[in-house]
Amino acid sequence: MDNREGIQPESMNPLPGSTPLNANGKPAEGLHEGLPPEPETGAEADAGFFSTSNLIMLGLLGALFAYLLYKFSFEELLNIVKAALGLSFVIFIHELGHFLAAKWCGVNVTTFSIGFGPPIPGCSFQWGETTYKLAILPLGGYVQMVGQIDGDEGADDDDDPRSYRKKTVGQRMLIISAGVIMNAILAVGCFIYVYQGPGKEYLSSAVYAIDSHGPLFEQAVHTGTLITKIGNIDNPTFTDLKQTVVFTRGKDKIPLVFQLPGKDPLAIEIESRKGKGDLMRAIGVKPASKPQLVSRRDAESGPWVPGTSAAAAGFEWDDVIVAMTDPENPERISALPDDPRFPKQGQRDYFEFARRLQLLAAQDITIRVQRKAGESIKEVDVKVAPMYRPKLGIVMHIGSILAVREGSAAHNKVKAPDPAKKLHGDLIDEVKVVPADDTIVAELKTVDPERLPHVLRQWSDRLDKTKFAGDRLVTLKLRRHADRPGAQFDNVEVTLKWDDAWRFDRVLPFSPSSPMPIPELGLAYEIRSIIAQVTDPSSKLEVGDVIKDLKFDEQGPTKDILGKWSGAEIEEGQWAFYSNVFQYPRNIKKLYVKVERSVQGKKEIVELEVPLTLDKSWPLTERGWWLANDMRRVKADNSWHAIQLGFAETRTSMMQVFFTLRGILTGDIDKKVIAGPLRIAYGTYRFASMDFAELVFFLGLISINLAVVNFLPIPILDGGHMVFLVYEKIRGQPASEAVRIWATYAGLAMILALMLFVLFGDVTWLFF
């Protein structure tokens, strides 16, 4: 099982804090992030530390600390501490920028706090005019200045020449923007450190799989190919591709160049798409894996799915696959060749590994791995049994053909009423093949849309074994929407040549709107969620039932994992996507479905348990292992190169945040991608569990996110303050007090609404 989606730090947008109001309904003094500070001196804070509210806070923190000690190991606790300190440091640097700029401009800074709340006893001191303290909640910090609120005529610091309000507009602009500037400097420093040191690993641009309803399928891109150019970017990474797609809108063209080993380069231009239910625009491609099991840090339970053949075989973390059963001689184990996409780098060819798995799907296989044994490496042969697809005992209705690959047998053979769409609307009624055998004739009596690609592939494989050298032809009897009055459909027959060059391409339904592909014919069709036939007499499902949702209980690492309803209603033509769930190895204990059923003329929703058996005629390609992503390390050649890479990464990250926010506003990106404090904390914890360089790089990304988001023109954020200062510079006087108070309330409402939204998203993501 490949390409587990990891944390995508590009989409994590930190939630800025909020500004409190004083008794006059005006924003309280102090530039800060996170929780509002209490204006207090060090002596007053120490005297009131043991107040009732503080004791309650101490009790809650103590209970949290005790829970962490009970729940986590020492190593996990250390990672939590590293994550907390890292996030605090990012926000501390932001406040340090405000502090240094204020001091440089001669503003009286009364408090500089690391953390919020009362100071820890003994961790507060006065140095000059400023109280420095380490507060009980280490979640950032704040700077408190005299007279921060511009134009507050009622303040008692009118005659103080060191008041923030007495400074020029330019000086106040510097103070306001200094936090963002420091965040940008921190990000550049983080990126330079990583590129100068160990370097940064990125997903390679090798194509593992493509979407059956995406532009790459339609433009005849093979899986196993390498993206060698994106626009003006040579030798790009998969991250470059994701960022390029995020930057696009509507009909924007993305120029790409693909290179398949041993073939001429393929240059195309495509448009990104956003289907119903998709979180963001995409081009329908997934990055490749490599023939190596994941490391311990990248999986939560094991390097395999519990209850699968891979779990029973005894694979271990970081096993490197170097050889396996030879399909041409199953009694022999042969080495996997080096990857031709990245020659002389010591990595085996994942796509040859995948090809052999498909050919040997129904057989026991032996996989030879290199495994660490202390300081040495040993080779171990692991025997792995086949796995089979669960059988639901039903046949679904086939839907219309939705996609055709350019240059394929189906291209220009099947024409829809609208020629520009090539195919939409044609329905497959019958399938015949030449040459036929008894097995294929029996299997094609009923067109099972889920099994059809597998049945045709098995037919072609049987012909391979007989050394058949002629054309392999597939005839489709179609119903086509008639374009003449009084007729609904025309019956049409088309004969397509089976193209085995696409036998090993991994074309999948990525999203609910994606159809079921047959790459060898160059087409893909819908599967309707309506039951056409019930083949299991013990099933409680009925013909005509419409499947609306499903869930399943499956074996977990220590106990069964109980399924939950997705909550997203399956629409009529979306069963291809949900059917694909059963193509991956998992030990499903029980399957439940919600169906819409007509009962005495009324439609009702009925929940049923569906009996499952294994379909021994349908072996799975995968056997339950988790394979590591194919990564490529980017490292600077020298210090100047590291500086160039650091600034380039900072610029790209800033643009990523900006275009993500733009996409959310335009609807190109779903609001669910915004990560709140819980997801950011979890992401930081995950990176803290990796090596130090990964954590540093991630903190650089968080710092850039904080800089961009904090400088948005929203009242109470730094960007909102800057808008009022620009207004004052142009008009020669500040905005009226009424306008500023109204803007503050509006800004507070926006931030509180955003906070509630992202917290709800975080809780849903973590617990549901």
728 is catalytic: no
DSSP string, 255-324: EEEEE-TTS--EEEEEE-B--TT-SB-B-SEEE-EEEEEPPGGG-SS-SB-TTSHHHHHT--TTPEEEEE
DSSP string, 569-615: PPPTTBHHHHHGGGGS---EEEEEEEEEEEETTEEEEEEEEE--EEE
Looking up tokens 């501490």 gives 81
How far out from the chain centre does Cα 13 lie? 14
- At a CB cut-off of 8 Å and minimum separation 6, what does 713 contact? 719, 720, 722, 723
Structure tokens at 698: 């991630």
What is the C-alpha to C-alpha distance for residues 363 and 642, in angstroms, rounded to an integer?
50
How far out from the chain centre does Cα 65 lie? 31
> Among residues 29, 40, 95, 526, which one is catalytic?
95
For residue 472, the one-letter residue type is R
DSSP 3-state of 745: helix
In degrees and rounded to multiples of 5, residue 734 shows phi and psi of: -70, 165
CB-based contact 215:270 (threshold 8 Å): yes
> Does 435 sit behind a cis peptide bond, omega within 30 degrees of 0 on the bond before it?
yes
Structure tokens at 598: 């007509």
CB-based contact 203:226 (threshold 8 Å): no
- Encode 321-360: b = buried (16+ Cβ within 10 Å), e = exposed: bbbbbbbeeeeebeebeebebbeeeebbbbbbbbbbbebb
To the nearest 10°, report the CA torsion of 401, 404, 409, 412.
90
- At a CB cut-off of 8 Å and minimum separation 6, what does 128 contact? none
For residue 708, the one-letter residue type is V
DSSP 3-state of 254: strand
For residue 632, the one-letter residue type is R
- At a CB cut-off of 8 Å and minimum separation 6, what does 15 contact? 676, 677, 680, 709, 754, 755, 758
What is the C-alpha to C-alpha distance for residues 145 and 98, in angstroms, rounded to an integer?
10
Residue 282 pairs with which residues in a beta bridge? 273
What is the C-alpha to C-alpha distance for residues 284 and 218, in angstroms, rounded to an integer?
11
- Encode 231-240: b = buried (16+ Cβ within 10 Å), e = exposed: eeeeebbbbb
Exposure on the CB side of residue 524, measured as CA atoms within 13 A: 28
Edge to edge, the sheet with strand 130-145 lists 31-32, 130-145, 109-127
Distance in angstroms between the alpha carbons of the first and the last residue of the chain: 23
DSSP 3-state of 704: helix
- DSSP label at residue 404: E
What is the C-alpha to C-alpha distance for residues 735 and 403, in angstroms, rounded to an integer?
58
Q: Nearest Cα to 227, choosing from 147, 311, 342, 330?
A: 342
How far out from the chain centre does Cα 500 lie? 33
In degrees and rounded to multiples of 5, residue 766 shows phi and psi of: -80, -35
Structure tokens at 326: 């030879």
How far out from the chain centre does Cα 206 lie? 18
Looking up tokens 């060059």 gives 501
Catalytic residues: 95
